[in-house]
Structure formats: C-alpha cells, structure tokens
Amino acid sequence: MESRSALLRYAWLSIAAALVTIALKGVAWWMTSSVGLLSDALESFVNLAAAMFTLYALALAARPPDEEHAYGYSKAEYFASGFEGTLILVAAGLIAVAATERLLHPRPLEHVGAGLAVNAAAAVVNLVVARILLAAGRAHRSIALEADARHLFTDVWTSAGVIAGVAAVGATGWLWLDPVLALAVAANILWSGLKLMRRSALGLLDRALPEPDRRAIDAVLDGYRAQGLDFHALRTREAAGRSFVSVHVLVPGDWTVQRGHDAVEEIEAGIRAAVPAATVFTHLEPRDDPVSYRDVRLDRRA
C-alpha cells in the first residue's frame, strides 16, 4: 500500500479539476445569465477551497507519530471533511440568496445551447476526477479523499439537473424554472454537507470500526476460543486511515509468561491480517481468576 504522503497527488488532482471547472462554469454562466448555472459555478469554488484544505490535511495526516502525538496525526482528515461540509453549507446559502433574488426579478436566458455545452464539459471533468478520488479513498481508507470524491459526485448530479432545467427554460420560456432549479440545487448540496459533517463528528468521537471489520476480528478470536482461550473488553476505534483494537486475552492460569506472550503475539498478528493498518493492544489475564472479570465493562471505572 502506498504511504499516506503519496495521497497528496490526488489532492493536487482535485485542485486542478476545481480550477478547470470554475473556468468552464463561469463561462457558461456569463454566456447564459442563468442563476442555475451560477449556483453550479459557486459550488466549484467550494470544491477548490475544500481541495486545498484536503491537501493540507493529508500532508498533516501523513506525519509519523511523535512524543506529543503518539497515535499519529491521521484524525486531521476528519477536520478536512468537516471543513468541506461547512463550506457546502455556506455555498447552499449563497445559492439560495441568488435564486430568491432571481425568482423575484426574472431575467431571460441567452445562448442557452452553447452555455450548456460548456457546463457539460465541466461535469465530465468532475465525473472522471470523482471516480479516481473515490477509488483512492476506499483503497487507502482516507475519509478526506472519499469526502472530496462524494462532493464531486454531488456536483456532477447538480450539473446534470441544472443542464436539464436550463434546457427546459430555453424550450418553454418559463423563467421561474431557473431560480426554482437553483433552490433545488441548494437543498441538495445542503443535505450533502450535513452528511459530511456528521461523519466527521462520528470519527472525532472515536466511533467503532465498521461492522465488516468487527466481524473479521470476531472470526479471528473465535478460532482461539476453540483452543480454550477467551476474550472480553474488546474495543475498536477508527482514525481515518488507521484502526485501533484493544482486547483482554484470558488464558489458563498455569501457563508460563512465555506461552501467554506467544499466544497474544499470534492473536495480534491475526487481527492485523484481518484488519489492514490496525494497531492492536492486548492485555493478558488468567482465565480462572475472578479478578480478571472485574473489567468486563467498557467503562472500567463503573
């Protein structure tokens, strides 16, 4: 797997795509005077700001652990996705204001065909880049890249809706349809921003690993249960590209320290094989000692 620092090139790709689409969508808006196309162009400015912050966050997240940050900097990616969600909310508000003004004071559209062709080209750029970023985000467990990709996919669907709506305005002459469409775009990207902010908040709150990863861990532990070992106090958390697992391992009380150590080494290796990029912590306890079961609860102070 590539190092986290190697992911920076994807952020640069996103920045380049944002600059290209800003230029294309700006031209499309200038040609048509459509507030729907203006809303689409404003979202591309959000894309640019988000991509630049993603670049910074990925660079920070790639730093190795140090004395002050023993668990690394990977959570910086959650700030990037949260920041992107906030920018999306701001863009939704700006679009809504522009659309309301146009709804109250309609204006005819101009050069609709040429403007829509330019906007369609921008949508194609975003679609290609979004697919690349999403694949990279999933492969490297990067929430920042995945958030950027999903935002670009939202932009693609927004552009498709705007193109269809503006084409309908040009065909029917219903000028009210243009600002109404812009309001629909604002509502759509508002929902996208809220989802991004929620996911970032859950990550910062140390949410447990996804269900597939937890099932994989259980499968590893079940194999050792069949050998007479037992486990409790299993805790997991996710920090962008890193996973953390801690578990108490209960072994027969007459085992030597060496035998217990060998067992937990095998268990940790098995969990790391099942959950890539996992950091595993184990605590060895005698299975037959009642004291070993006083810390079964997640909150050990309880």
> What are the CA-CA distances from residue 98 to residues 48, 106, 180 (Å)?
20, 11, 11
Task: Give the start-to-end residue ranges of the domains of the chain.
Answer: 4-204, 211-293
Instruction: Output 168 or 260, whichever has higher pLDDT.
Output: 260
pLDDT class of 240 with cuts at 50, 70, 90: low
CB atoms within 10 A of CB 220: 21
Output the average pLDDT for the chain.
80
pLDDT class of 29 with cuts at 50, 70, 90: confident
Q: What is the pLDDT of residue 282?
A: 93
Q: What is the mean pLDDT of residues 122-126?
A: 87
60 contact partners, CB below 8 Å, separation of at least 6: 73, 76
The pTM of the whole model exceeds 0.75 = no
Q: For domain 211-293, give the CATH superfamily.
A: Cation efflux protein, cytoplasmic domain (3.30.70.1350)
Which of the listed ranges 2-11, 69-78, 124-133, 235-244 does the model predict with the highest average pLDDT?
124-133
Tell me the C-alpha distance between 64 and 195, whole Å: 29
Residue 78 has pLDDT above 70, yes or no: yes
- Give, rounded to a whole angstrom, the gap between the first and last alpha carbons of the chain: 41
pLDDT class of 122 with cuts at 50, 70, 90: confident
Q: For domain 4-204, give the CATH superfamily.
A: Cation efflux protein transmembrane domain (1.20.1510.10)
* HSE-CB for 180 with a 13 A CA cutoff: 8
Contact 274, 216 (CB under 8 A): yes
Q: What is the mean pLDDT of residues 282-300?
A: 77
Percent of the chain at pLDDT above 70?
A: 90
Q: What is the mean pLDDT of residues 272-290?
A: 88
pLDDT tens-digit readout, 91-108: 777 777 777 776 777 766
Contact 294, 283 (CB under 8 A): no
Q: What is the pLDDT of residue 206?
A: 74
Q: What is the mean pLDDT of residues 112-141?
A: 83
pLDDT class of 1 with cuts at 50, 70, 90: very low
Instruction: Output 257 or 68, whichever has higher pLDDT.
Output: 257
Q: What is the pLDDT of residue 173?
A: 75
Residue 3 has pLDDT above 60, yes or no: no
Q: What is the mean pLDDT of residues 133-161?
A: 78
Phi, psi of 251 (to 5 degrees): -125, 165
Q: What is the pLDDT of residue 302?
A: 46
Contact 240, 277 (CB under 8 A): no
Q: What is the mean pLDDT of residues 76-83?
A: 75
Percent of the chain at pLDDT above 90?
A: 17
Instruction: Output 256 or 144, whichever has higher pLDDT.
Output: 256
Which of the listed ranges 24-28, 181-185, 237-241, 281-285 does the model predict with the highest average pLDDT?
281-285
pLDDT class of 266 with cuts at 50, 70, 90: very high
pLDDT tens-digit readout, 186-228: 787 788 778 777 777 777 777 788 888 899 999 999 999 888 8
